[in-house]
Amino acid sequence: MSTPKHILILTADAGFGHRAAANAVAQALATRYPDECRVTVVNPLDDKRAPAILRRAQDDYDRMIQSTPELYKFCYEASDGSFTVSIAEQGLIAMLYLTMRDVVQQHKPDAIVTTYPLFQAPLAALFALNRQYIPVLTVVTDLVSVHSLWFNEDIDRCLVPTEAVRQKALESGLPPEHIEVTGLPVNPVFGSNPDKAELRRRLGWSEDRCVALMAGSKRVKKLEPLAHVLNHSGLPLELAIVAGGDKELHSRLSEVEWHLPAHVYGFVDDMPALMLAADFIVCKAGGLIVSEALAAGLPLLLVEAIPGQETGNAEYVERGGAGVLVEDAVAGLTTIYHWLMHDRAELHQRAERACTLGKPQAAMRVAELALAAANEGAERRVRRLGTETTLLNKLLSGLDLDLG
């Protein structure tokens, strides 16, 4: 029996999507190829030698999008250009080379999957200096509004969630044969077609009432007002409200006198089950939760979208007919009222459109490509090595490196 291939998945914790996509791919590999590979998921920014500015950026991301979303949009868009990306990549090489070198030496992978864009340039530098190559597959975790930093010409495969992102990858100079629209990897359970009635019985939900799943967190400020409006609406709804890691929100909602059947949850580790059991979802326009909802065939009532990054996600959902972005609780109530009219005719239409857009098998496809890359083995990439090595030696000359 051949030795299992080792697939290293690199991710980060700036938001939920990068880690969730990494975990989905890891689960798909473990499910489909249990004897053919072993998988390790690593966040290189957990290394204390990684610059504090990058480690803090994971927390700063949350703070900035909550407190100054327009400033976040400005910084995001201002840095999205070939010149600024080139400078950023040089900085990332200098800051992360040592960490990336040690991660690769420690794990000795046969293939690398990255769900975070900051690691590609340091990996490319490492391969150029060592005159050896490990296949790298990048999984893009934004649905439409994608930063150019994702598109590095030294990777093997750029796996994108939508045709819109494929077009941007092409515009950034990636060859068409290196790009594939796989969808954004979500938990493989979304492709398992479970019994909805059985899920509801297990959750303690009614089997005949329309269930609105409301996905909250500290980032979703407009969810709570809509929950209160729905509570007094008299609509034939049942509410399943997930507060996530927002303990204060969970406490407040747990004390509400609910006039509709309601289930209030804190952090849950079986969110896919709740999504597969619900009839529609109220959430923000994050790439992960949008992709999960579409994979589950859930219409989306979007109550918030981060300017720039998530606006494209909301537009993608609306153009596809799978949901709408609303301004406030009154607009949300109006939308839900129309969805429920005429025996939920519009809600059913939205669900059909969600199923059309959803890609529940995305993680399995990424797993397939990752194992194929690992089986093909490392190759030696000689293109531009002479020039690259000279530049990299200059860039890294201040570090404690044995560059040979």
Is 400 a domain residue?
no
Q: What is the pLDDT of residue 301?
A: 98
Cα 221 to Cα 143, 245, 260: the distances in Å are 22, 13, 21
Q: Which residues contact 175 (CB under 8 A, 6 or more apart)?
A: none
Q: What total of structural domains would you count in the chain?
A: 2
Together in a domain, 336 and 250: yes
Query: pLDDT digit string (tens) for 311-366?
Result: 999 999 999 999 999 999 999 999 999 999 999 999 999 999 999 999 999 999 99
Mode of pairing for the β-strands spanning 5-10 and 37-42: parallel
Is 404 a domain residue?
no
Q: What is the pLDDT of residue 388?
A: 55
Q: What is the pLDDT of residue 382?
A: 44
- Angle (CA) 173-162-190 rounded to 5° is 140
Is 329 a domain residue?
yes
Together in a domain, 200 and 239: yes
Taking the alpha carbons of 360, 264, 199, 325 in that order, is the dihedral positive or negative?
Answer: negative
CATH (domain of 381): 3.40.50.2000
Is 38 a domain residue?
yes
Together in a domain, 158 and 108: yes
Q: What is the pLDDT of residue 384?
A: 41
Smallest Cα–Cα separation from 97: which of 155, 146, 54? 54
Whole-angstrom distance, CA of residue 349 vs CA of residue 337:
15
Low-confidence ranges of the chain (pLDDT < 70): 1, 55-83, 378-404
* Percent helix, strand and coil across the chain, each to the nearest 5: 50, 15, 35
Is 401 a domain residue?
no
Is 403 a domain residue?
no
Together in a domain, 202 and 162: no
Name the residue range of residue 77's domain: 5-186+360-395
Q: What is the pLDDT of residue 215?
A: 94
Is 54 a domain residue?
yes
Together in a domain, 182 and 205: no
Q: What is the pLDDT of residue 185?
A: 97
Report yes or no on whether pTM surpasses 0.75: yes
**Class of residue 193 by CB neighbours under 10 A (exposed 0-12, middle 13-18, buried 19+):** exposed
Per DSSP, the three-state class of 303 is: strand
Structure tokens at 356: 């059309």
Together in a domain, 135 and 68: yes
